[in-house]
Each structure stands twice: as structure tokens, then as C-alpha cells.
Amino acid sequence: MLYIWLSTVLMNMISAVSAYGQTDSKTYTLTEIQKYGVRLLVNKNYLLPQGYAPDGLVVTNGKVRTEFANTQLLPEVLKALESMFAAAKAEEIDLILFAGFRSEQTQRLFYERAGGGNSMSVAPPRGSEHETGYAADILAVDSMIRNSSFGETKAGMWLQKNAPQYGFILRYPENKTNVTGYIYEPWHFRYIGRELAYEITETGLCYEEFLQLYPDQKVPTK
């Protein structure tokens, strides 16, 4: 009940800083990126600086099955994925990583191919979490299509339940499209560390909403 109330209050409170439909935007400095670290909010309004790529990216190894060779992620993300994939495998769920880090150039290509504009499914260049090295698109070997029905598969449900234990949040939940600006993406997970992942998931809020709970400490200010 408290959460329902909180959500309602927050929805009103954050309308001014909602990620969706807002025209002004902020570009992070490298200092800010360092400061926020794993908590960095990246969306259509909170953008990475031009040409940004995180330091220390690593290539996935055999422990994490990937659709594409040489998929890169930050080391802590890869480590968490290895544990999560192994745990899923133990329950006969074969996960497969479809995307990790994406460069600004690649993101621009995807965005332009999708027609640009305020796309609900493809982020603008400098506005994709994939450009931070913290995001992972995860599907199952027997269900490799990125659409909303993945959320109802055994793998999709397993991920929703277990991802926080490995430090991941479902970044674009089904009922938060008006806040995140993106369609429901049951395959897109964002590494944020175990403690925060639990906390965010428990509130039932999306990350934009959650950050509003701690405006002083956690919301990057414009």
C-alpha cells in the first residue's frame, strides 16, 4: 500500500524531470561519470559526452554465451553475468547475451536505421545505457527474439526474479513506458550492484523514479 501511494506521489513529483518527452537535456562531464559510477543515469535526457567509451572494457569469455563475437562489458558486469548464466544453466535455462557495450557510432547507426526522432525502442547516440558498459541484452537460446513475449517465457521470468541477486535491474518495465520513454524490454538489464538492484526492484519503481527518492545523493543535477 505504501508503495502504491509512494508511486503515485512520485509520478507527480517527477513529471518535471521525466525522461520522456522533455526537450532540455544534460551532458555529463567525465568527472560526473566517475562520481556517479555504477549509479549513472543515462537516458534520452541524461547524455554521455561525445566520443565517450568507458575505460577497462573486457571481452566476454566462454562462460557467457554470446550471439556476437567480441562482445564487451565492464569487468564487474561480466563477472556478475557469469554467475547469473551459471545459475540459470543449473535450472536448465540457457541464457544468451545479445548485446553489451555499444560505441556511440554503432548506437548512431542503430538510431538512424530506426528512423531517429523520439524512438520508443532505440536510444539516441550518447543516450544509450549500452554505451556505459553496464547494460546487457539477455535472451534465451530457445527464445531469441527481442519482443515483449520474452517476459512470459521461462527464461524471461527467471531473469525478472533472479537478476537483482546478481546486481541487475530490469531497466524498462512494462508499466513504466511513460517515465522511461521506452517500450517494455524484458531482455534489457542494467548492472547497478546487488544492494541497489534489490532496493530498486523492491520498490517497484523504474530507475528514473527511484532516483527521485534521494535527490541529494543520487540524482545527477542538471
- Point out which residues bind Zn ion (CB under 5 A): 137, 188
* Separation CA 17–CA 222 (nearest Å): 10
Q: Which residue is nearest to Zn ion (CB)?
A: 188
Q: Name the residue nearer to Zn ion (CB basis): 176 or 188.
A: 188
Cβ of residue 194: shortest distance to Zn ion, in angstroms? 20
Cβ of residue 90: shortest distance to Zn ion, in angstroms? 25
DSSP 20-85: SS----EE--HHHHHHHGGG---SSSEEPPTT---TT-EE--TTS-BSSTT-EE-HHHHHHHHHHH
Q: Count CB neighbours of 217 within 10 A.
A: 8
Place of cell 527464461: 155
Cβ of residue 6: shortest distance to Zn ion, in angstroms? 27
Cβ of residue 178: shortest distance to Zn ion, in angstroms? 19
Q: Name the residue nearer to Zn ion (CB basis): 137 or 209.
A: 137
Q: Name the residue nearer to Zn ion (CB basis): 10 or 197.
A: 197
Q: Name the residue nearer to Zn ion (CB basis): 131 or 137.
A: 137
Q: How many residues does the structure list for the chain?
A: 222
